[in-house]
Chain A
Amino acid sequence: MAIYKLHINGRSYQADVEPDTPLLWVLRDNFGLVGTKYSCGIGACGACTVHVNGQAMRSCTLPVAAVGTQKVITIEGLSANGDHPVQKAWDEVDVAQCGYCQSGQIMTAAAFLKSNPKPTADQIDNAMHGNICRCGAYHRIKEAVKLASTKA
């Protein structure tokens, strides 16, 4: 066990955990930030996606010891009032079915659009291909990413 100081959503947090604990479980179990979801734990689905220094990362395979002073943003901190262009597009297109995968989808899309604000349809497909939606809401996810790219 060791003490880790983390910068999350513009605040500092502290946890006494083992170094190999994935960031995902520190967020969920220690800090109650449960918007970041668990589904596979092996980096294969994207449900646990957060931003680390602006990059989309899978928190389920990122040990807390590797986070250091990097700035972490979770779905709870993506915007103050749920009004990030990607969140707004998700509402407008009415994307969610069960909704479980959606915070990971949104975090993936938000980081992607930051690096590529005006993507082509193929680029959207490529960027979102790693995120599974078991409900099959892919058409609307695509549409919402496209819509968000016109808003930002």
Chain B
Amino acid sequence: MNIIVSFKQFFNDLRRQKLRSLMTMFGVFWGTCSIVLLFAFGKGIMEQQLISQKGIGDNIAIFWPGITSKEFKGLPSGRRIRPTEDDIRLVKSKAEMVMRISPEFSRSALLKVGKNSSSRRVHGVWPEFGAMRNVIPAPGSRFLNAADERERRRVIFIGNLLKEDLFGEDEAVGQTMLVNGMPFTVIGVMQEKNQDSSYNGRDSRKSYIPSSTFNAMFSRRYVGNFVAQCDPKVSMDMTRAEILEILSTKYKFDPTDREALSVWDTTEGFAFLKNFFMAFRIFLVGIGVATLITGGIGVSNIMNVVLEERTKEIGIKMALGARKSVILTQFIVETLLITGVGGLFGFVFAYAVVKAVPMMGLTEFIGVPEVDVTGGLIVVGLLAIVGLFAGIFPARRAANLQPVQALKLF
């Protein structure tokens, strides 16, 4: 019953307070919209960066042969340190913190499919390489496996752009292609990925064959480089130290010699990025809080501006027999409706913007923004609470007065 009274009152009141209601709604609209957009884009951008960064692989370090820069146990500096595939096997068997490891041999080769040909790098790697370096097979295909390696199969896994260069739109898996004139069966095509860092070019135009096959064809004594992935529970620093310890014992160099093997630890960049995004997130939350405070002040200001006339109105209604609960219900319904409508519009508007942006083709830089429904609801909820506090406390104060006091207050 009270609710019905309240609705009738509410619509009467809304009409009078057109401007106030609109302003309040706009405040809530604006707050909701800007925060939803802020978070949607912030999250999109962050995730895009993380995806790109992860394109090269998670928790990995890449090691290249180097030249010692320090004397060690009577041995001069300037010696070349070049690990072999056996050394990588040694590290694999001894290092406890290494989760995956693979040598990587590579050379340029002429790749041919029918009339199409391309001169690209071919890499000889172990099966672990794929998972470690985030070289993921597209559906319906696979990466190199242990049997390929063991039996020196002439199988090849190709990057998605290389596949397009050679096969166009045609199916590649199961087809034969020539590598320097030798026939290879395509077993897999890489799933498209974002990659913002690389060595020897992006993975999308590389091809991979078993390292055993590679050495049967090109017989290399030393690995071109090797890639190690550490257990996520330990740090890459410790893992690197462990690897260097094993290799320095074998090749007799100072394990602290940074040039004996050159290392690219991708987790360093990642750590930077993580810190950067932490700061970015704090910044976003800061702006969000500031927006909310501003919006809240706006909402409560508008609510308070009319306290004078509202108190008189409350006095009149009480004089005519309104119970306290009727008056409070009216204020609650009013505030919730105003914030609800404003919030809904803000949300819908932000949603539309978020949906429209990917159509403008900026995905590579800002990612695909995504509306955080929970976040949006929290914002609307907070503004509603601010509105309730701003609107209901004065209303409650007024409703607790004797009618004559409310009538005379101003």
Chains A and B bind each other: no
